[in-house]
Chain A
Amino acid sequence: MAIDRKKIIEEMVAVKIIGDADGVIKGFNVCVNLMPTSFWSGFAERITQKANDDQIEAIEFLLVNAAHECGYHTGYGIITSDEWNRVVAPMIEKGPEDTLHGAFAIFTAWGWAQSEIIELEPGERMVVRAYDYYEADVLKYGAKPKPCAYMLQGVSAAFMDLAYGGPYDKTGKTGIRTFRCVQTKGIECGDDYGEFIVTRA
């Protein structure tokens, strides 16, 4: 594999992202914000804790879906960006597989989760491990009964959609949700890492 994960991380970590005088951050063909991790995980934690048995499945689905759409559209913006073309594109030999490894290197570099692909069956199945992620920060003591890294679940599925789900569709009508993700381990559950298994939906 030609992907130099260490080099990608070194280069991408240095990219500065901050709002201009108009409060706008442009990049990757999306509107970008930069907010405390406690905002995102705090809302997710509080809305799921408040949910009753009838609501929880739908709420969790929608939290994952928010990340799935983010991962799909912003992910496409990233893999077609100047930064990608400068650093990652020259390393790519096997299109979709190397693109996926490169995407998870960037996912690490920009602080979403320290994560990597452990297994990849092209077009069919991917296993990702995350050794550090902000979504686990809500836990202060003990272990949660079930995994809840919703953002990681959604983005993992989205990256497989981009790699093997057909041409990117900005309308979101095709391509996205070709794959789904199940989280089988979580730091928030007392495991050493989060594990995310992506398969065809």
Chain B
Amino acid sequence: MIEERTTSLEVTTKVEPRTCRHYVNDIPMVVHCHHYSTLYTQLAIDTGETELLAEVSEEMFHDLLVRYYTEHSIDAIDDRVRIATLYFAAMGLGKMDVTYLAEYGGKVILTRSHLDRGWMRKWGTFDRPINYVTAGCCAGMAAAILEMPRGSFRAEEILSMVKGDPHSEFKIIRR
């Protein structure tokens, strides 16, 4: 009999008693709503700073994953991919499926998306992709999983739920 082991994401939460700051896996985290994330995205679009938004997101997700992989000795690629998708879900950002990841690129499908759903709740559909946050997460995730420097990849959103596509799709490209 072959026993399959499924890697699960360990989540520890704590609250600092004096300030009430919340920590997830010792990282200070905070809850925000789709109004806030949508308006951050709109600000990035209006100022031409969507690359900056993706970069900040990439840095956030990359560093969070590298820390987790190191602390929990997660070395196998399969396990790292699974942890990344579980962490993305735990943050309420959506449901991510990594179709493939290679040295020079990859593909990620999003079937549930906080950013897209939030945008559509606030403003309806749009004529172009808006999920720069997840694009950044994809780029950061790829580098973290493959143990490459942050900034090794970028991601383009080639299908978008906000545009009316049935799911969102991200193409990961090696810089």
Q: Are A134 and B30 in contact (CB under 8 A)?
A: yes
Which of B30, B34, B43, B53 is packed against the most chain A CB atoms within 10 Å? B30
Within 8 A of A (CB), among B147-175: none
Q: Identify the interface centre among A36, A37, A51, A114: most chain B CB within 10 Å of its CB.
A: A36
Is B64 part of the contact surface with A, judged by Cβ < 8 Å?
yes
Q: Give the segment of A66-74, A79-87, A161-169, A190-198 that binds chain B.
A: A66-74
Give the chain A neighbours of B121 by CB distance below 8 A: 31
Give chain B residues whose Cβ lies under 8 Å from the Cβ of A112: 30
B-contact 0/1 string along A51-73, CB 8 Å cutoff: 10001000100110111011001
Q: Is there a chain A Cβ closer than 8 Å to B70's Cβ? A: no
Segment of A38-46, A138-146, A177-185 engaged in the interface with chain B: A38-46
Residues of A within 8 A of B47 (CB): 47, 51, 55, 59
Let me know if A94 is at the binding interface, CB within 8 A.
no
Tell me how far the C-beta of A7 lies from the nearest C-beta in chain B, rounded to whole angstroms: 14
A121 within 8 A of B: no
Instruction: Assess whether A109 is in contact with B56, with CB atoms less than 8 Å apart.
Output: no
Contact call A47/B30, Cβ cutoff below 8 A: no
Residues in B with CB closer than 8 Å to A70 are 32-33, 35-36, 39
Contact of B52 (CB < 8 Å), options: A47, A131, A132: A47
* Closest B residue by C-beta to A47: B49
> Which B residues lie at the A interface, using CB under 8 A?
11, 13, 15, 18-22, 24, 27-37, 39-40, 42-44, 46-47, 49, 52-53, 56-57, 59-60, 64, 88-96, 112, 114, 117-118, 121
CA A22 – CA B43 in complex, angstroms? 27
Interface magnitude class on chain A: 35 or more
B28 engages A38 (CB within 8 Å)? yes
Chain A residue nearest in CB terms to B21: A111
Given A36-B64, A111-B21, residue A23 in contact with residue B114 (CB < 8 A): yes
Q: Which residue of B lies closest to A67 (CB)?
A: B36
Are B22's CB and A111's CB within 8 A? yes
Residue in A30, A50, A114 whose beta carbon sits within 8 Å of that of B20 in the complex:
A114
- Bound-state CA distance A132–B15 (Å) is 14
Task: Give the complex CA separation of A63 and B44 in angstroms.
Answer: 10
8 A-B residue pairs with Cβ-Cβ distance under 8 Å, sorted by A, are A19-B89, A23-B89, A25-B31, A25-B92, A31-B34, A36-B28, A50-B52, A55-B47
User: What's the least CB distance linking B148 to chain A, in Å?
Assistant: 21
Residues of A1-31 contacting chain B, CB below 8 A: 9, 13, 16-25, 28, 30-31
Q: Which residues of B contact A73 (CB under 8 A)?
A: 33, 35
- Check A42–B43 contact: CB distance below 8 A: no
Q: B60–A13 contact, CB under 8 A?
A: no
Q: Are B31 and A17 in contact (CB under 8 A)?
A: yes
The answer to whether B28 touches A134 (Cβ under 8 A) is: yes
Chain A's nearest CB lies how many Å from the CB of B118? 5
- Chain B residue contacts of A114, Cβ below 8 A: 18-20
